């Protein structure tokens, strides 16, 4: 199975996934793609000698640059890990829905346009939620609304801060994302 990772930011999930699958007998991270030339994901890919692809928002929306690479590398599953652009409808259809995303809340809570990164955690804290968590879901045409694959809760402490919460969510994401990829690849 060939997997492509798409990321826009720091890329800590990408690094963790690259590390987990580096000697995997069946699953290969064949491509890391980003719309941000400064994304840590591209640096991590270079460190693991995985091919990279950079594209602009416009190229994603109007050209087949990503689709051609996906075809060239014979990608079976696309994994979004902190990818901030909307995946075009045509792309979703031509890839037959095999696109997986992670979201740092228990969807449908704190999902949708503009709900990413710190925005999510700040809302969770200001609403004094007792529980939050992470969601793995398929990508469809609407932000964070695709079919849910798995959710993992996290219980907030009384004195939880943005920084402590972010740290715990990241730990949970790192511990679960590789397993979810493995599970989908084996289905
Ligand atoms: C993660 O919290 C993920 O849930 C969200 O964006 C963040 C990406 O972090 N979609 P990183 O770039 O993997 O460090």
Tell me the pTM. 0.95
DSSP 86: P
CA of 178 to the centre of ligand 1 (A): 14
Ligand 1 pocket check: which of 173, 176, 180 to mutate, most ligand atoms within 8 Å of Cβ? Answer: 173
CA of 141 to the centre of ligand 1 (A): 20
Q: Can you give the pLDDT at residue 37?
A: 97
| Residue 104 CB–ligand 1 contact under 6 Å | yes
Q: At what angle do helices 162-185 and 12-20 cross, to 10 degrees?
A: 40
- Whether the Cβ atoms of residue 136 and residue 176 lie closer than 8 Å to each other: yes
| Residue 160 CB–ligand 1 contact under 6 Å | no
Q: pLDDT by residue (tens digit) across 65-114?
A: 888 888 899 999 999 999 999 898 888 888 877 999 999 999 999 998 88
Burial of 173 (0-12, 13-18, 19+ CB in 10 A): buried
């Amino acid at each position: 199975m060939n997997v492509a990772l798409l990321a826009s930011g720091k890329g800590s999930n990408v690094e963790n996934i690259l590390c987990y699958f580096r000697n995997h007998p069946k699953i290969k991270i064949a491509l890391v793609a980003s719309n941000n030339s400064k994304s840590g994901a591209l640096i991590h890919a270079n460190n693991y000698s995985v091919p990279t692809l950079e594209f602009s928002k416009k190229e994603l929306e109007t050209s087949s640059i990503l689709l051609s690479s996906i075809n060239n590398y014979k990608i079976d599953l696309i994994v979004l890990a902190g990818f901030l652009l909307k995946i075009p409808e045509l792309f979703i259809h031509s890839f037959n829905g095999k696109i997986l995303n992670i979201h740092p809340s228990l969807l449908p809570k704190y999902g949708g346009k503009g709900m990413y990164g710190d925005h999510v955690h700040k809302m969770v804290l200001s609403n004094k939620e007792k529980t939050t968590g992470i969601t793995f879901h398929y990508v469809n045409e609407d932000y964070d609304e695709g079919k849910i694959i798995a959710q993992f809760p996290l219980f907030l402490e009384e004195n939880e801060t943005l920084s402590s919460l972010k740290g715990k969510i990241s730990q949970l994401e790192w511990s679960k994302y590789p397993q979810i990829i493995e599970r989908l690849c084996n289905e």
